[in-house]
A and B are shown apart, each in its own frame.
Chain A
Amino acid sequence: MVASEKSVPSVPSAPRLRDRILNREVVLFIILILVALVLSTQSDQFLKLDNILNQGRLLTEVALVALPMTLIIITGGIDLSVGSILGLTAVMIWYVWQKLGWPLEIAIVLALLTAAICGFVNGLFIVRVGVPPLIMTLATLALYRGMALGISQARQARGFPDWFYQLGQGEVLGLPSQLWIVIVATILTGIILARTPFGRSIYAIGNNELGARFSGIPVDLYKLIIYTFSGFMSGLAGYIFVSRVSTTRSDMGTGLELDVIAAVVLGGTSINGGVGNIAGTAIGLILIQLLKNGLALSGFLGDATIVVVGSVLILAVLVNNFVQWRRGES
């Protein structure tokens, strides 16, 4: 927040910008507390520590992918291929480890590398060839999922060694292991986005790409970096997911992009680019996970939670637009 003030000191609307960001996060946070209160009256399980920690575990995959997605959406782009990259990573772990017979450690490294390359390919076509991000990642949504399906031919890995489960099912210092990765990654990404020239350039690209180019920002390089980052984080999420559920399936991560984009947009990042931050995304993630969990505990079917996530996404954007519109009028 401090950095955003610094970056626009001469613009007269700077305080209004700060107001807006503060407002949005405060409003979201109040909604979060209200939702938690209402849901806690529905089930006495809801506020138990075990349940909350377990929700943290379930949140991990979406959270890890939501971080780069926030950056991408701020630049005015989008990445629909994240779920497919997750699935391809899972299949690659199986392929290198059980099909090629290489050590599991190498399989994990190669799978993560594959994921990063997938993201890099997205970025390369977007930057070099000029394919719109929506189309490029729609194509690779099909392509990467297709590769996962084609390589695996519906076979899956089983019988992992014990150490492999540590990340997905173990605990470190009382917290689920993967939650530590989420916390560290969130803080790092938040700092990078808010406090570094690289992070501020991301906003500049989203606000006015041509302007950013003329101010000497290496737009293409930065875009390439964030799409590669997105691929890598999807891969990491895939590795953690495999470790959590103890198997590899080619349809893993189907529809992940929906959850991720919902969390990011709910967190106040504008789908048109230029506006957003990691704190908002974090609140959006927690809010959606609480809603899902609370509804499940209150006896709703899993499918009722999709309806709620979808409605919340639409309502959040509606309210957001309305608030901005009111402010624009006054």
Chain B
Amino acid sequence: MTATTPPAIATTPNAMNSWFRAIRRMLATQEGVLALSLVGLTIIVSAINPRFLAPENLSDIFQFNAYIAVAAIGMSMVIISGNIDISVGPLISALAILCGTVATSGFPVWVAWIVPLIVGVLVGVFNGIVVAYLRIPAIVLTLGLHSVIRGLLVILAGSKVISDLPPDFGLAQLTPLGIPMPIYFMVVLTIIAAIWMRYSARARAIYAVGGNAEAARLSGINVQRTIVFTFMINGLMVGISSVLLATQFSQIQATPPPGLELFIITAAVVGGVSILGGTGTVIGATLAAILMSAIRVAMILINVSPFWLQAVTGVLILVTVLADILRRRRQSRSIRA
């Protein structure tokens, strides 16, 4: 030990510096900020109330909200392409009910798991075609669809609760290697999507279209097909999300969680996806979805009235957007300098 002391002292400032640099580099990306916020939140809240780290709270944060993270992956892509999808909330509920209905109608469970994905993809392709070829702004189309799907859901399913599900239906209740299935879905889909969004030409086309559609067209990208493709992937993610929601409890309710689409869009935006399109990553969206669930659980544990939750969500969006804008201003200033 004594022999190694002098070099240790000599390297301490260096080590400190590299630590600072690492943290500063992390703070330069939205993913880093989110990861650090998550760590900070965990330390503070578990110091106030150690029950924050209890298994049931952790599973609430990760397992029961994984379906939101999965949907947020698709939403990020749609927003990166310069569009938006407001209809996801009712659509996830409708597909979950469809999933349960197929399962209780005597089909094998794997059929029940596949059907929502197919319908989700079809709805996505429909949205994409209407937006890309018929030139209906995505916000108008999906705002209209939001009403249509919500209304149809109430008319067709009412306040129905599907509870006589087959015993092997609970895909999201499986725990291979002791880890709940939804976490596998969330992590694997995020990693695949992140790699794909970074390296595949088709995914880079999504960024190009969102950044500047005209420039993308001039560089030989088929803008319309890219938009249809983006909405199709989003439909697939919504389908997977709905299966996770449908299979995680022993019953399925026809009423969508209120404001679900707001939660999903918030996750995408807080995750660093610029609403103007062209930038953002899916890892940020997943981290933001986890962070928001953690905040919700933390608020309950430190005795803040849950009535304030939505206000916190609003502040969270504002802070993220402001930080993003300030960061961009600084960058553009340093480029000019």
> Which residues of A pack against B, CB within 8 Å?
78, 125, 129-132, 134-136, 138-147, 149-150, 152-154, 250, 258, 261-262, 265, 271-272, 301, 303-311, 313-314, 317-318, 321, 325
Question: Is residue B318 contacting chain A, with contact meaning CB distance below 8 A?
Answer: yes
Bound-complex Cα distance A142 to B263 (A): 10
**Is the pair B262, A142 in contact by a Cβ cutoff of 8 Å?**
yes
Bound-complex Cα distance A329 to B150 (A): 37
Identify the 8 closest CB pairs spanning chains A and B, nearest first: A146-B311, A143-B314, A310-B147, A146-B310, A142-B314, A307-B151, A306-B151, A139-B317
B297-328 contact mask (Cβ, 8 Å, vs A): 1 or 0: 00000000101111111110110011001000
**Is the pair A134, B275 in contact by a Cβ cutoff of 8 Å?**
yes
Q: How far is the CB of A269 from chain B (nearest CB, A)?
A: 11
Chosen A-B contacts, 13 in total, with CB atoms closer than 8 Å, are A134-B275, A135-B275, A143-B310, A145-B310, A146-B312, A303-B150, A303-B154, A305-B151, A310-B145, A314-B130, A314-B140, A314-B148, A317-B140
Identify whether the interface residues of B are mostly helix, strand, loop, or mixed: helix
Most buried by B among A132, A145, A146, A309: A146
Question: Is residue B266 contacting chain A, with contact meaning CB distance below 8 A?
Answer: yes
**Is the pair A313, B275 in contact by a Cβ cutoff of 8 Å?**
no
Bound-complex Cα distance A75 to B308 (A): 33
**Is the pair B136, A149 in contact by a Cβ cutoff of 8 Å?**
no
* B residues less than 8 Å from A308 (CB atoms): 151
**Is the pair A146, B309 in contact by a Cβ cutoff of 8 Å?**
yes
Q: How far is the CB of B202 from chain A (nearest CB, A)?
A: 26
**Is the pair B145, A131 in contact by a Cβ cutoff of 8 Å?**
no
* B residues less than 8 Å from A310 (CB atoms): 143-148, 151
**Is the pair A139, B311 in contact by a Cβ cutoff of 8 Å?**
no
Q: How far is the CB of A129 from chain B (nearest CB, A)?
A: 6
**Is the pair A149, B265 in contact by a Cβ cutoff of 8 Å?**
no
Given A134-B84, A149-B307, A304-B155; A271-B140 close (CB under 8 Å) = yes
Q: How far is the CB of B12 from chain A (nearest CB, A)?
A: 41
Bound-complex Cα distance A139 to B265 (A): 10
Given A130-B325, A318-B136, A321-B135; A313-B147 close (CB under 8 Å) = yes
**Is the pair A309, B134 in contact by a Cβ cutoff of 8 Å?**
no
**Is the pair B139, A134 in contact by a Cβ cutoff of 8 Å?**
yes
**Is the pair B321, A271 in contact by a Cβ cutoff of 8 Å?**
no
**Is the pair A146, B317 in contact by a Cβ cutoff of 8 Å?**
no
12 more contacts with CB within 8 A, not counting A139-B314, A258-B143, are A135-B275, A142-B259, A142-B262, A142-B310, A143-B314, A144-B314, A145-B310, A146-B308, A150-B305, A310-B143, A310-B144, A317-B144
Give the residue name and chain of the B residue nearest to A78 (CB).
B139
Bound-complex Cα distance A304 to B153 (A): 10
**Is the pair B311, A153 in contact by a Cβ cutoff of 8 Å?**
no
Bound-complex Cα distance A155 to B307 (A): 11
* B residues less than 8 Å from A321 (CB atoms): 134-136
Q: How far is the CB of B39 from chain A (nearest CB, A)?
A: 24
- Give which listed residue, B84, B146, B307, B318, contacts A258 with CB less than 8 A: B146
* A residues less than 8 Å from B137 (CB atoms): 271-272, 317
Given A139-B318, A144-B314, A317-B140; A307-B308 close (CB under 8 Å) = no
* B residues less than 8 Å from A138 (CB atoms): 262, 265-266, 269, 317
Given A131-B325, A132-B275, A150-B308; A306-B318 close (CB under 8 Å) = no
**Is the pair A153, B144 in contact by a Cβ cutoff of 8 Å?**
no
* A residues less than 8 Å from B151 (CB atoms): 303-308, 310
**Is the pair A131, B311 in contact by a Cβ cutoff of 8 Å?**
no
* B residues less than 8 Å from A301 (CB atoms): 154-155
Q: How far is the CB of A57 from chain B (nearest CB, A)?
A: 23
